[in-house]
Amino acid sequence: MSADLRIGELARRTNVSPELLRAWERRYGLLRPERSSGGYRLYTAEDERRVRAMNDALSRGISAGQAARLAIEDTTGPPYDRSLVEALGAFDDVGAHAALDRLLSSLTLESVLRDWILPALRELGERWQSGEVTIGQEHFASNLLRGRMLGLARGWDRGSGPRALLACPSGEQHDLSLIAFGLALREHGWRITYLGADTPFATIDETATALRPDLVVLASIDAARLTPFAEELSNLATHFPLALACGGAIKALVGEIHATHLDEGPIEAAAAVASRR
């Protein structure tokens, strides 16, 4: 890979000052310039890629040292998301937990959820649908990640912040995205009460009445799990702020019952909810 970028041009392309680029090179070894015959530092397209990767990590709240390490590791070794997916697909409990340990020790929880755990689940789901992995592998992965995420959720109802009541309606078993949403919302200072998958509507209503939450969130990958309860949902929405996180044709129902539609990813949806407080 040819080195033909002067530091001024690298700074212009990445919108990072030459002074900061030099600091990243000196402190973290992020850049690996070559010397021209005249003694000038010359940078490659790979240096540019590392700077962009570091900027992206910094924008997600990762510390500068961690961001630099991730930007460098991205080209010097297998990324953690691959080792996580491979361990899950191989029924490798120890390997999957080790991959998660490495991620959680170096990244923010939101980053681990958004950039590794949720993509791993999507990939394994897609591979199951295409016949590349078995239902056993998909169940193993889902249960391992659910257990790990719920372990991270211990004590997520502590504090004095606003409270969110989370549940999946009757018949809905897919709750991992909702757990991720709750973990991310907790990072914004909310308290979480989690009822889990396949929760009867009467239980949701009863719990909301008892706890008086600041927000009720119901999640389902199938809109048909919610549309039969339009009247009950409308009544719930008259007493508590209500948000639906759901695939399928749900917009008409959301408008009818005056609820909010959380149509972003779980981490982005949590940030949007927190920003409205």
Specify the amino acid at residue 245: A
pLDDT at 82 > cutoff 80: no
Kindly indicate whether the domain formed by 7-74 is annotated with CATH number 1.10.1660.10.
Answer: yes
The tens digit of pLDDT for each residue in 205-253 reads 999 999 999 999 999 988 888 888 899 999 999 999 999 998 755 778 8
Amino acid at 88: L
Q: Hey, what are 156's tokens? A: 């997520």
Query: What is the CATH class of 163-275?
Result: alpha beta
CATH of 80-152, one of 1.10.10.410, 1.10.1240.10, 3.40.50.20, 3.40.109.10: 1.10.1240.10
Please, how many CA atoms are within 13 Å of residue 175, restricted to the half-sphere of its CB? 24
pLDDT at residue 77, rounded to an integer: 44
Q: What whole-number distance in Å separates Cα of residue 40 and Cα of residue 265?
A: 45
Least confident among 122-131, 157-166, 170-179: 122-131
Q: What's the CA angle centered on 204, arms 199 and 210, to 5 degrees?
A: 140
Range(s) within the chain of domains with CATH label 3.40.50.280: 163-275
Lowest mean pLDDT among 67-81, 118-132, 143-157, 202-216: 67-81
| CA-wise closest residue to 106 among 154, 69, 60 | 69
pLDDT at 85 over 50: yes
pLDDT over 70 percentage in the chain: 95
CA–CA gap between residue 139 and residue 67 (Å, rounded): 33
Mean pLDDT of the chain: 88
**Portions of the chain given CATH number 1.10.1240.10:** 80-152
